[in-house]
Amino acid sequence: MARVISVEAERFPIAGTFTISRGSKTEAEVITCTISEGDYTGRGECVPYKRYGETMDGVRAAIEAMRGQISAGIDRTALLGAMPAGAARNAIDCALWDLEAKIGGKAVADVVWPAPLHQLETAYTLSLGEPEAMAAQARANAARPLLKVKIGGDNDIARIRAVRQAAPDSRIILDANEGWNDDTVAANLAFAAEQGIALIEQPLPAGHDGILRHIAHPVPICADESVHEAGDLAALAGLYDAVNIKLDKSGGLTAALVLRDRARELGFGVMVGCMVGTSLAMAPAVLLAQDADFVDLDGPLLLARDRVPGLAYEGSLVSPPDPALWG
């Protein structure tokens, strides 16, 4: 029986404004891919990301271009060779996982994580702003055990100090989004260590981070924009201590599992992160993150409206997805 694919662009309002070093947005723009076979339907969601040259129209067109191969029954392994890593492949890959689970009557979790699933402690993200505004965000969320703080400007030491004073008991991840440079990185790292920061994400632009091989890492440094697939890892040895795996970068759960396992083999710490999307995008990542060192799957917590049904969050704890959502 031929498979039928549909592609839809959707928008979900963000609660307020989400700001990083590259700009601000007030809504999550996502592409949803639905693949049906007979009475069974699988779904996958992706978030096109401008930093990687992706647009809503471009990602939608890339998915549509696979219509013939999907109708003919392409599987997830063949998909890896048929499309490059990125958001479009992620949406198709996750839809195929969901469809396979429904047709076979076997949950995705039973395939990728045979042990009992458990709740995960996710980071909660604070948007970039002036130190006083970031301190107010931190103070309002100081009861959360793990905060992810967007930085990446000329005043980052003041921002770090303000957030730490406002949330003295929280573990903190700093995400510079490539916003530091060779002149600021060492001093910022040293100050972050003084403040007890747990992890720093992508302090320098991808491809312009060679100095990390020659300076101290008083705080572990995590690659984000510098790593997409398993093939990227060898070049990161000596530069980074951990990698942030996102399904939209790796191009789906299938490739992300390979990336996670290879990262472990090479001695990297593992963080599982997300773009700002809905629970449908987070659901497969919750399975991927069952043994992660850091989890950043707070996308739905940043939205004013999520999908129904969505993931269940209790404070900063996120539960595995219900099959009615995905998998």
CATH H-level superfamily of 4-106: Enolase-like, N-terminal domain (3.30.390.10)
Residue with tokens 């303000």: 162
- Taking the CA atoms of residue 82, residue 88, residue 93 and residue 95 in that order, the dihedral angle to the nearest 10 degrees is -130
Assess contact for 28 and 125: CB atoms under 8 A. no
Tell me the CA distances in angstroms from 72 to 69, 162, 184, 307, one per residue in order. Answer: 5, 56, 53, 30
pTM of the predicted model as reported, rounded to 2 decimal places: 0.96
Q: Which of 101, 33, 104, 45 is nearest to 70 (CA)?
A: 33
pLDDT at residue number 217: 98
| CATH class (in words) of the domain with range 112-318 | alpha beta
> Which residues lie closer than 8 Å to 47 by C-beta, 6 or more apart?
28, 29, 30, 31, 87, 248, 275, 276, 277, 281
Rounded Cα distance between 215 and 27, Å, is: 38
Residue range(s) in the chain whose domain bears CATH number 3.20.20.120: 112-318
Residue 126, token pair as written in the block: 């604070």
- Taking the CA atoms of residue 201, residue 207, residue 210 and residue 215 in that order, the dihedral angle to the nearest 10 degrees is -10
Q: What is the largest CA-CA distance in the chain?
A: 61
Assess contact for 123 and 318: CB atoms under 8 A. no
Phi first, then psi: give them for residue 110, nearest 5 degrees. -70, -20
pLDDT at residue number 19: 84
230 DSSP assignment? G
Could you list the pLDDT tens digit for every one of the 327 residues in the chain? 789 999 999 999 999 888 887 788 899 999 999 999 999 999 999 999 999 999 999 999 999 999 999 999 999 999 999 999 999 999 999 999 999 999 999 999 999 998 999 999 999 999 999 999 999 999 999 999 999 999 998 899 999 999 999 999 999 999 999 999 999 999 999 999 999 999 999 999 999 999 999 999 999 999 999 999 999 999 999 999 999 999 999 999 999 999 999 999 999 999 999 999 999 999 999 999 999 999 999 999 999 999 999 999 999 999 999 999 999
Q: Determine how many CB atoms are found less than 10 A away from the CB of residue 219.
A: 24
pLDDT at residue number 154: 87
Assess contact for 188 and 180: CB atoms under 8 A. yes
Rounded Cα distance between 156 and 280, Å, is: 33
Active site residue 106: no
Residue 92, token pair as written in the block: 């198709």
Residue range(s) in the chain whose domain bears CATH number 3.30.390.10: 4-106
Strand order through the sheet with 199-201: 124-126, 146-150, 171-175, 199-201, 221-223, 242-245, 269-272, 294-295
CA end-to-end distance (rounded Å), the chain? 21
Active site residue 249: no
Residue with tokens 């916003």: 179
pLDDT at residue number 12: 97
pLDDT at residue number 50: 94
pLDDT at residue number 24: 87
Phi first, then psi: give them for residue 124, nearest 5 degrees. -120, 130
Rounded Cα distance between 51 and 114, Å, is: 35
